[in-house]
Structure 1
Amino acid sequence: WPFGFHGTGMPIVACAKKLLEETSKYGNPPTFPLDDQNNLSSEPSTNESRFTGNRGKKAPSSKKQWSILEEMGCEDIAAFTKPEHWLEVFPRKAIGDLKSFGCRIDFRRSFITTDLNPFYDSFIKWQFNILKREGHIFYGRRFTIFSPKDDQPCQDHDRSVGEGVAVQEYTIIKMEVCDARKLSEVPGDLLAEKKIFLAAATLRPETMYGQTNCWVSLDILYQAYEV
């Protein structure tokens, strides 16, 4: 059988960026602070799963990327700040492991994904162009988690931390302001013959029937929108 090495996605890029941040902050080779020597954290630094109710998720590890590669016996660790280097090193390691397992693989026919392999890249482009031309695939819309740092959607296994966090659906409750004239910060002409609503987001809309008050924060800048 042939064998394909899957290098597509963000996990490799996330690890490379994490290593680059470590070397930029702590030097090359890095000298980590004493309080970071115990690289494994017993508690997650941020509670990413608090909205999902999934308590069985493993807490994210704060282990340094440099330490992980060092324990794996990797050489020239600083070179791993480039994602392409991962794809040069680990397929060779994988081949060695697969051979030690006794797997019957024809490695002459092995290949790697991404545009680092122009033959594979051309095949995928050809395939998707035909499918799109025939009307089998199209662009759509869906809710997703977006990474501002990478400027693209960031799915579950693509994240260095926060695995298991899903899109959270809120219900917006429109609460009409009974006496809008008391909103002293809003110019009077904006209130003329218009209804003013406060929009509150909630995870439990069924509890709104028993609500007796609504709180606003003095530390938050609220904005008004005309719909």
Structure 2
Amino acid sequence: MKGTIHNRDSFLNHIASQLGRDHRTAGITRPAWKHDAPWEVMKDYTEEQLLEVFKKQCRNIHTAVIETSKTQLPGVLKKLVSENGGGPVIIPEDSRFEEYGLTRLLKQEWPQENVPVYQWQAKKREENLKAAETSNFSILFSDYTLAESGTVCVKAKKGLGRALHYLPANYIAIVPRHTLVPRLTQAVHDMNRAIGNGEPAPSSIHFISGPSNSADIEMNLVVGVHGPLQAFYVLV
């Protein structure tokens, strides 16, 4: 159902007159700036240099970075979960779990070891929220990883609900090394390009920089007030 727009032209004409010009109906040309700071920051950094910036920033935001290989990833996840209270574990629907060799761990090993694993199901809202609220760990993949701020970027999609980021007590982001970019500029540019090429736009985009931090009261830092108590980035 489409709504009806009333008084659009008179409204826009009034705004234009207040700006001292005519109502503009054609497209505009983006200005060519002399300095383009968002693209200049770390533009010549190698992948290794970006990685060092990322790890340094993660120390500032109370987030552990664990470097591993694809073959060792299942063992790293088992160790992290075991050393931090065990399950339950909640995961989204994501083909990368199979791609990164985690199917056996999630569907066989953990259930046999009394570590429940729940996979988010798009049409079961109440069950999903209850599972997220009672989970000790959520495990997800980063779509983009920002070196400058120690941030993982995750695009919401079917099978990956927002509660996965906020309700579990601990948060593991699996970070494929190729997702590492200097800063927000490159991540948003790539998302805009993908949407321009026909990829569906995500319903929301989450930029997560470590565990929840708040210093609102007398500038005393408290970790875990509004979300996970701990965050782990597993760099593969």
The verdict on a shared fold, with TM-score over 0.5 as the criterion, is no
TM-score, normalization by structure 2: 0.22
TM-score, normalization by structure 1: 0.22
**Higher Cα Rg: structure 1 or 2?**
1
